[in-house]
Each structure stands twice: as C-alpha cells, then as structure tokens.
Amino acid sequence: MNKAAHYPGKLPATPPASAPGPFHCGLARFVGLSVALALLAGCGGGRETVRTAPPPSTRDWPAVTPADPASANAVLMRAISLVGTPYRYGGNTPEGGFDCSGLVNYVFSDMLDVRLPRTSRALADYQGPKVPPRQLATADLVFFGSGGSVTHVGIYVGEGRFVHAPSTGGTVRLDHLDGHYWRDHYSGAKRILR
C-alpha cells in the first residue's frame, strides 16, 4: 500500500516507475481547472445568497419587574446556563438531558427549592395567575399547544424570549415568542414567583 496516497504532504521515497506523459498532465490540469471554475461559479453569481433571519420580534415586549427579582434572576441565569444540553424524553438532569417540563422542574428545584408538577399540561393547570403576553416577567412559564391542549412549556427570560427543551435530536435553546411556530402555538403563561 502506498502511504503517500493516504497522508497528504508525505512524498514517496522513490519516484513512481512510470511518470505520466505530457498529454496526461495536460488533461489532469484541464479537469482540475474545470472543476475549480465550476465550484467558483457556484459561489458568486451576482446576487446575495446569504439568508437573513426574520426580524426577532414584531411585538413590543415591555420590561416587567418580577415580584421577586433575585429569585427571577436565579431562574434566568440557571436556565440560560443549560442552553446546549441535549434533549431527552423524560429527562430531568443536565447529565441525562431534559425534556421541556423536566427542564422547568430542574431549574426551579435547583435554584429555589420549588417543587412543580412534572408535565407541561399539569404545569399549565398549576395554581398561579395567568399572565397576558405584554405583562410577562422573567421566570414566568410560557405554554404552547394546539386545539386547547398544552403540549410544551418554557421559561420566559425577557424581551420576548424563552428557554426550553424543544424536541428529540435537539438541545435546550433560547427562542423568541414571535417565531412563526411559537407565535402560532402559544397558549398562555403562568406566574410561579409571587
């Protein structure tokens, strides 16, 4: 086996037995140049090909001071620190991953020793005032679903954004309530900290 063929930069100790003739070198250069030009042609083309993100918000999200700013800040900081943790159905630890309600339970338990119901549906039914979108404060829970059924929950962190564990194959992430899917499936919010 010729190791030089597999390890770039390593030259064979002896030249090959038969060097390619001038026709072979010319053809190789022509093919190489043609491929390079074809690749470069795809990079330009007169119009901008960079995709731009939609505007992050179409609504005004007023800053609402939480009733307990220190506790809300603890929830906010812990939730954001978990961004990037893998999603796992039924998961409720940073080591094992999170599903949406597992993330909410972990953050509130870890930071404030608050015990909450385990499912998004039970969290939506949990005691606490419902909160209109323009009155959301840091650490409020935001709910999503369709047809009157709650199927997802996240933690509001301010400026129209929330932290959540979205789905299999994903990770805990920060999203905007005005994102197309979330805006269309938003079903309400609850205030846990009072």
Q: Kindly list the catalytic residues.
A: 100, 152, 164
Q: For the chain, percent helix, then strand, then coil, each to nearest 5?
A: 35, 20, 45
Distance CA 119, CA 104 (A): 10
Alpha helices per DSSP H over the chain: 22-43, 69-81, 100-112, 120-125, 180-185
What distances in angstroms separate CA 128 from CA 17, 103, 104, one per listed residue? Answer: 83, 19, 15
Residue 66 near residue 139 (C-beta atoms within 8 A) = yes
Three-state DSSP class for residue 38: helix
Residue 189 near residue 134 (C-beta atoms within 8 A) = no
Q: Which residue pairs from 31-37 have beta carbons closer than 8 angstroms and sit at least 24 positions apart in sequence?
A: none
